[in-house]
Amino acid sequence: MAAIQWYPGHIARAERQLKEQLNRVDVVLEVRDARIPLATHHPQLEGWLGDKARVLVLNRMDMISPAVREAWEAWLRDRGEVPYFTDARQGKGVSQVARAAETAGSGVNERRIARGMRPRPIRAVVIGFPNVGKSALINRLLRRKVVESARRAGVTRQLRWVRLSDRPGKSANLEILDAPGIIPWRLDNQENAVKLAICEDIGEASYDNQRVAAMMVDLITQLPELAGETPAYERLRDRYHLNPREMTGESYLTQLGGDRHQGDLERAACELLNDFRKGTLGQIPLELPV
């Protein structure tokens, strides 16, 4: 049986809502999780976007090391992509994203002016998988709270434009939809689904915490970055008694569980997942450029 289960009804609804939002904008700010930039990319997205301008945002940059960030930056640039790294919780890298969106959408006004029309603000929507930090980014762009940002999937609201110029001294050239677009994800790649579940970037899905925690340990132990004595490696060994050189996810969880009850093992698995999600485990990516 697959480790992750979805509810198809939610996928259909999310897809419909996303397409409606895409139809209204000039620019798309695609937010991915910097720990899993590939698994948080949807293979159908290019098809949905057509030739609409896009700005690629890798959020949660605080959760990966500067070396890993540089590796992704080089890898993406080699492929013609320009990533903007952000920490939407602290507001880092956010003003660069706003500028990139204005530049990416400027073609709209060039066309309007050529046709004798007055320029208008560029319209953008922030899209991405559940929980990657879309609301936090919108709120940081606007420097106030217009969207609920929470650890769990938020509520849908009526679509409304919010202008960056509503901020004193800021550009009048960008408007953002206040409801972020959620990219629905189908169950056709279990490996990516597991990474999304580990990072909690998956929304309406159910999964077995113990299996997902064991898979997380397997992914971590396979990271080449941990082959050396990096701070993250030392922390795993000293604080979590996890030796990436010697353990698999199953053997680690068995050791964690010891002769404890099933409920204790479940709690240990949840704690481990939570520590990863909060960043207490260290700056650990689950993907590196290949």
Binding footprint of ligand GTP on the chain (CB under 6 A): 59-60, 62-63, 87-89, 128, 130-136, 149-151, 153-154, 180, 182, 279
Min dist CB 42 to ligand GTP, Å, is: 14
Min dist CB 84 to ligand GTP, Å, is: 12
Element (H, E) at 53: strand 53-59
Of 54, 59, 28, nearest in space to 180 by CA: 28
Q: Of 83 and 130, which has the nearer Cβ to ligand GTP? A: 130
Residue 28, amino acid: V
Output the DSSP codes for 114-155: HTTPPP--EEEEEEESTTSSHHHHHHHHHTS--S---SS---
Residue in the structure block whose two tokens are 């609201």? 157
Q: Of 28 and 108, which has the nearer Cβ to ligand GTP? A: 28
Q: Of 66 and 119, which has the nearer Cβ to ligand GTP? A: 66
Min dist CB 71 to ligand GTP, Å, is: 19
Min dist CB 112 to ligand GTP, Å, is: 31
Whose CB is nearest to ligand GTP?
133
What letter would DSSP give residue 200? T
Q: Of 87 and 287, which has the nearer Cβ to ligand GTP? A: 87
Q: Of 120 and 278, which has the nearer Cβ to ligand GTP? A: 278
Min dist CB 273 to ligand GTP, Å, is: 15
Element (H, E) at 264: helix 262-278
CA–CA–CA angle 263, 278, 154 (5° rounding): 90
Min dist CB 201 to ligand GTP, Å, is: 8
Min dist CB 182 to ligand GTP, Å, is: 5
Which residues make Cβ contacts (< 8 Å) with residue 104, sequence separation at least 6?
27, 53, 54, 55
The span from the CA of 202 to the CA of 175, in Å, is 27
User: Taking phi first (over 0 means left), then psi (-120 to 50 degrees means alpha), and beta for anything else, what does residue 184 get?
Assistant: beta
Q: Of 108 and 178, which has the nearer Cβ to ligand GTP? A: 178
Q: Of 115 and 151, which has the nearer Cβ to ligand GTP? A: 151
Longest dimension (CA), the chain: 77
Instruction: Give the count of alpha carbons within 13 A of 40, CB side only.
Output: 33
